[in-house]
Every structure is written in structure tokens, then in C-alpha cells.
Chains A and B, each alone.
Chain A
Amino acid sequence: MARVAALVSMALATALTAAIARAEGTTVYQEDKKFSEPEVTIKAGQSVVFANKDPFTHNVYSKTPGMSFDLRTQKSGESSEVKFDHAGESEVQCAIHPQMKMKIKVTD
């Protein structure tokens, strides 16, 4: 049974890696209930991919005026892309785990 569990874990890990590798732009991971980066800087028109490497769900969102978004419930292994069209600073948080916070700085 332990071997089966290990194989399933490896398969999940591979699928997750593949899903993340397909995504374009800067990637921020959610792992151990933390964001992999406290802050990222991108240019207007670029995207950030949020990839959930935890074995449970997250809900990444921002309520920053003009830069708000809600990725809704993100299951383990899922990733979502957010495009930022305008310069500014977006405060990003996980609704489920409010201690998870980061910033997206968007420059012209």
C-alpha cells in the first residue's frame, strides 16, 4: 500500500509540475500556506500565474481598487493566470488563509 501511495504521490507531483510548466509569465506558488514570493514586479500587460502546490484549497484574491480579482477556490495542483493591464500595486491575500499575503507591483 505504501508503494501505491508513493506512486500516486509521484504522479500527482508530475502532473502539477507539468501544469505549472505550461503556464506563462511570473509564477507564484502557494506552498505550506505561504506564497513563494512576498513581492513580485511585472510590467503592465504581463501576467502572474498562481499555482497551488499545497494538498488543500486556496482562494487567492485582491481587493485593491482597480486591480481586484478573485481566483475562487483553487484545488491542489491547479494554477490560474491573472493579467495586470495597468501600473499600480495590488495587495494579494488568500481568503481561506488570511496570513498568506503578498504584493504585485506593476510598472509602466
Chain B
Amino acid sequence: MQAPKWFSVLLAAAVVPSIAYGAETLSLERMKALYQRPKSIPFPADNPFSAEKAALGEMLFFDPRLSGANYISCASCHNPALSWGDGLPRGIGHGMTVLGRRTPTVLNAAWADLLMWDGRMPNLEAQALGPMSAPVEMNQELAKLPAKLSAIAGYRERFAAVFPYEEITVANAAKAIATYERTVVSGTAPFDRWIAGDEKAISESAKRGFVVFNTKGNCQACHSGWNFTDNSFRDIGLPDADIGRGKILDLPSMQHAFKTPTLRDVERRAPYMHDGSVPTLMAVVEHYDHGFVQRPSLSEEVKSLHLTAEEKTDLADFMMTLTGENPPVHVPVLFAGPQTAQR
């Protein structure tokens, strides 16, 4: 006789949801407590928030005149309509150059420690200038950027208001862009409403998926906390030649290691992984179940999972509950000024 569906749900709620966490065993309620949203955005002491600075950063973020050829803005790749990515397997830069890795999202970057897939940038201020100056990305010669922006009256006024008694500098442009980027936060998702106590906010399949995520799937070893990342670097066994963080930090464990991305709004960011090689969330689940390559640097956290078909579906259903209700993104009308071609 087949057990009624309510029985399996009860079973899942009563028996499965506990996880060994060090010497401690976590109940479902304790598990859920690990995923509470933060109450405020962290801003660094050396670049505090102001509404005026964020507004200037927004203008710069959407302005293609920050690129050498004046047709690529930060938003060209970090498109808010595509969950602050570009929806492509690999980014496309100056002269339609196909880049080596997928464009990471800007979403929730305020909580990131090191930026870029290989963590080579220490903070958002430095990160903003990396793609801007890279010849294959925005191809903007940074030394010429202040003069370029100073030629635009609107920027002269706005920079003077935000950074009084200072000339327009590359560093201040980066501070403004970073401030704006820190305000890009994923909206409240059905998962958050479930965490807050609304049992009807997500499906029973998604609830089971949450338990698999935290137990048999071991996903929480890396995708932990409200932002579903611990900002760690690991080799997850993708079969490409890119050694990732290994180029930055020459240790055996860092070969083929890449930064753990957030799973917030992940449904909107296919294709997946640093190389855009995995087309769907179900394919991601299959990768972690058995699809990774064995090599010395493979993370100890990546092991064959032997998930059942139902567990795989539950995991995908759970991840889709992380899609937030994001309000429409404001796109500024840019300051009038010369479309200078100087680089």
C-alpha cells in the first residue's frame, strides 16, 4: 500500500530535518534561523553611504562613456533586466571579444569579500575599475577618464556636490559606483516569507528541497546563510582548463577553484557556473549529484550524492523559491555632453 502524501510530508518534517553541524545537531527551526535576511546593507567606513553618492554611482554605472569606445557601460554586462548579469555563457567586451568567464551578478555584492570569479579584487571600489580598464572589456584608459568626465557639465556639478573641494578622480568615480552597487539587493522571496512563518509561501516539494539542501545535498557547506554563499573558493569539478583562483593563490587546493556565487534569484541567471557550461538548474543538480570530474584539487565537499529523482526535483523547486519580488530598476537619464572618442 502506498503511503498517503501527507504521511511523507509529516515524515520529512519529523525525522529528516536535522543536520550534524560540528558536534551539534540542528533541527529544522534552527536550520531556518540560519537564513534570516539582514536588516541593513553594510557600507565600509572609508566609503560610507550617501544618497547623493549612490545617485552619482547609478549615473556612472549606466553611462557608456565610461568605456574607451563609448558604447559599453557597466550595465551592458550587469544588466538589471537579466538579474544584473548578461544571460550569456561568457561575457562580451570591447570589439565583441568573448571573455573567458561568465559575467557574475552584482546582486548582493555588498556582502562579498573578494570580487571576481577568482577573487582577485579586494573590494567593490577596486572591482569597478578592473573591467573598466581591461582592454578586452570596457577598454577605458583610466588616466584619461577624469578629463572625459570633466567635459560633461552634469558630472562636474554632481562630483563637486558629492566630493567637495576635490577634482574628479578615478578613485572617487569608483567609490560612487561601488556605493550604488551596494544598494543592489535581492528582493523578498517566497523563501523569506516561509522563513518568517508563512507555511503557505512555498510548496511542500520546495520544503523537502530545503531539507535536502541542508542535509544529503550538502549544498549549505558553501551556499550558506541568507545570501546563499559563504564567499568561499572551491574546485567543484567542472571539466575546463581554467585554473581560476589557482592563478592568484598558488596552492594545490586552489587549482580550478572559483568563488561560490549567491543563489538569490538564481532562476533568472542561466546558464550557470563560471564558464556558463550548465544550462539549467536541474543540470546544476545533476552536476553535483554525479557530473563532476575527479582530480586532486576537487573540493572535499563535492561527493556523489545519489539523489533520487524526487530529491532532485525538490532541490530545483527549492532554489526557485529564492526568486525575489524585485521592484523595477530605475535607469537614469544621462547627462548631456560630448560623446568624446578620446581614450
Chain A residues within 8 Å of B, Cβ to Cβ: 1-2, 5-6, 8-10, 12-13, 16, 31, 33, 53-57, 59, 61, 70, 72-73, 75-76, 95-99
Contacts and interface: CB of A to CB of B under 8 A. Distances in A.
Contacts of A59: 251, 253-254
B300 A75 contact: yes
Main secondary structure of the interface of B (DSSP, over half): loop
Contacts of A6: 25
Shortest 9 CB-CB contacts between residues of A and residues of B: A13-B23, A57-B300, A56-B221, A59-B253, A99-B113, A9-B20, A96-B232, A9-B25, A1-B15
Interface in B1-40: 15, 18, 20-25
B288 to A, nearest CB: 15
Interface string B212-241: 000000000100000000111110000000
Interface residues of B, number: 26
Contacts of B205: none
Contacts of A96: 232-234, 253, 257, 299
Given A1-B15, A33-B230, A55-B221, 9 more contacts: A2-B18, A2-B25, A13-B23, A59-B253, A95-B254, A95-B257, A96-B253, A97-B230, A98-B231
Main secondary structure of the interface of A (DSSP, over half): loop
B119 interface: yes
A41 B252 CA distance: 28
Contacts of A13: 22-23
12 contacts: A2-B18, A5-B18, A9-B20, A10-B23, A55-B21, A59-B253, A70-B252, A73-B300, A76-B22, A95-B257, A96-B233, A99-B113
Contacts of B119: 98
A56 B252 CA distance: 18
Contacts of A33: 230
Contacts of A1: 15
